[in-house]
Amino acid sequence: MTTDFWADADAHLLRYGATWVPEIIARAEGSFVFTESGRKILDFTSGQMSSILGHSHPDIVATVQKGIANLDHLYSGMLSRPVVDLARRLAESLPDPLEKVLLLTTGAESNEAAIRMAKLVTGKHEIVSFARSWHGMTAAAANATYSAGRKGYGPTAPGNFAIPVPDSYRPDFTNPDGSLDWTKQLDVAFSLIDAQSTGSLAAFIAEPILSSGGIIEPPLGYFTALAEKCRERGMLLILDEAQTGLCRTGTWYAFERDGIVPDILTLSKTLGAGLPLAAVITSAAIEAEAHARGFLFFTTHVSDPLVAAVGNTVLDVLEREQMDARALELGNVLRAGLLSLQSRHSVIGDVRGRGLLQGIELVLDRETKEPANDLGADIARRCLELGLHMNIVQLPGMGGTFRMAPALTSTEADLELGLDVLDQAIDEVTAESRAA
Ligand SMILES: Cc1ncc(COP(=O)(O)O)c(C=O)c1O
């Protein structure tokens, strides 16, 4: 029976906030996805920012095939070698005292568990995060998410607060030279938190680079100061490295740049390289306290062996191919290309990011930084027509920002192709808008 794909999609898919890419995707391999109509599209978002090894990496394929045939899913109280191996290897990849690992499924779930643990261990309940954060769609994660989806779902848990984002391109607190005065911004933010707090500050949860917030990289020194604010208040610092973890930014973990160690680290997207695997990692002391207080996070897919085996394979490939150095190298190529585009297209107001997580913000005028929102959607559409999938973030108060997160297995030719398509799309769309 032949059916109409798009009519069926309209009739039967519940819309969850995505705008459908108007192509039926038949297959994905390496840095590309292939449409049913025979088009080859360069995937500059590595799926949903997850497939760091490209699509259907042969090692992952082999691991899944073996796992599904031999050791798929178990009772949640049963342990298997892939789970304990992955826990040990993650601990070995991290600085002390991060050594205790909980293996879960999604990013939201890992943040849910981290926040739950922080509340139990501190005996407090207030959670602070950035005003443009994204930590997931489950209750506690969504309560700490401010970039989207807050309106219309009733009250969040009491005691969720946001602080402003240290956005160097659009500084709100400024030094005499106009640059961001993040020290002042952070001091004022915490004076407001202290004013609102009922004395129950449990944790701050942050992305080291705010991705859904528009690829905002807090300045060097910021996280040291933030960690100190947390310490002064007896709050735990949770870092959510869903997108930045596992080599993407040029180091194994993005927090390495800052010389701090979080109390709790969450990993997801990149850990399974496209398959549903997440981790919560903390110190033995915090884990012991949580356990003593009866920590419960018993789920269907906790400690599942198949995805844990995938996680081990992801680590094998990252180590074998020295992907941290590779991400840095490729990141330099991508960044140089984006800076060169910026020198030719006045619509590119800012180029920012680290390693293979880069962003460009579009403006109508570089002086006034007037946001260029519609243009971004038009450029993304044209890129797709030309064979490049891009993701654009549109938030109030900033221009449409493209998020680029190509696979770490990309070739330089893949990156050059993406840059060329983007160049052409910007050319054409800006010429059209000038003519209009
Ligand atoms: C930084 C960050 N944390 C958490 C999440 C939520 O992860 P998931 O969608 O797997 O629940 C996302 C998803 O985009 C994310 O970008």
Which of 135, 165, 275 for a ligand 1 pocket mutation test, highest count of atoms within 8 Å of Cβ? Answer: 135
| Ligand 1 nearest atom to the CA of residue 241, by list position | 1
> Can you tell me the distance from the alpha carbon of 129 to that of 117, in angstroms, rounded to the nearest whole number?
16
* Choice among 126, 167, 207, 258 that is catalytic: 207
pTM tops 0.95: yes
**What's the CA-to-centroid distance between 39 and ligand 1, angstroms?**
29
Task: Quickly state the pLDDT bin for 82 (edges 50, 70, 90).
Answer: very high
What are the backbone dihedrals phi and psi of residue 43, each rounded to the nearest 5 degrees, phi first?
Answer: -95, 95
Ligand 1 in reach of 212 Cβ (< 6 A) = yes
- The pLDDT > 70 percentage for the chain reads 100
Ligand 1 in reach of 108 Cβ (< 6 A) = yes
> Can you tell me the distance from the alpha carbon of 12 to that of 347, in angstroms, rounded to the nearest whole number?
39
Ligand 1 in reach of 135 Cβ (< 6 A) = yes
How do residues 379-410 score in pLDDT, each as one tens digit?
Answer: 999 999 999 999 999 998 888 999 999 999 99
> Can you tell me the distance from the alpha carbon of 348 to that of 341, in angstroms, rounded to the nearest whole number?
8
Long-range CB pairs of 88-93 (<8 Å, 24+ gap) are 89/312, 89/315, 90/267, 90/279, 90/281, 90/311, 90/315, 91/281, 93/252, 93/253, 93/315
The residue-averaged pLDDT of 94-103 equals 98
Ligand 1 in reach of 430 Cβ (< 6 A) = no
Q: Residue 1: is its pLDDT beyond 60?
A: no
Q: Position of tokens 């990289």?
A: 217
Ligand 1 in reach of 136 Cβ (< 6 A) = yes
**What's the CA-to-centroid distance between 428 and ligand 1, angstroms?**
33
Instruction: Give the DSSP letter string of 13-26.
Output: PPP-SPPPPSS-EE
How do residues 322-357 score in pLDDT, each as one tens digit?
Answer: 999 999 999 999 999 999 999 999 999 999 999 999
Q: Position of tokens 């192509």?
A: 23
Output DSSP code: residue 389: E
The residue-averaged pLDDT of 210-229 equals 98
What are the backbone dihedrals phi and psi of residue 73, each rounded to the nearest 5 degrees, phi first?
Answer: -140, 145
How do residues 131-141 score in pLDDT, each as one tens digit?
Answer: 999 999 999 99
Q: Residue 2: is its pLDDT beyond 70?
A: no
| Predicted pLDDT at 175 | 98
> Can you tell me the distance from the alpha carbon of 284 to that of 91, in angstroms, rounded to the nearest whole number?
11
**What's the CA-to-centroid distance between 107 and ligand 1, angstroms?**
5
> Can you tell me the distance from the alpha carbon of 322 to that of 152, in angstroms, rounded to the nearest whole number?
46
CA distances from 157 to 31, 160, 195, 235, 329 (A): 41, 7, 18, 18, 43
Per the prediction, the chain carries an average pLDDT of: 97
| Predicted pLDDT at 117 | 98
| Ligand 1 nearest atom to the CA of residue 111, by list position | 4
Ligand 1 in reach of 405 Cβ (< 6 A) = no
> Can you tell me the distance from the alpha carbon of 105 to that of 61, in angstroms, rounded to the nearest whole number?
19
3-state SS string for 142-178: HHCCCCCCCCCCCCCCCCEEEECCCCCCCCCCECCCC
Strands 40-43 and 388-389: parallel
What are the backbone dihedrals phi and psi of residue 88, each rounded to the nearest 5 degrees, phi first?
Answer: -65, -45
Q: Residue 43: is its pLDDT beyond 60?
A: yes
User: Which ranges in 210-304 belong to alpha helices (H)?
Assistant: 222-233, 284-292
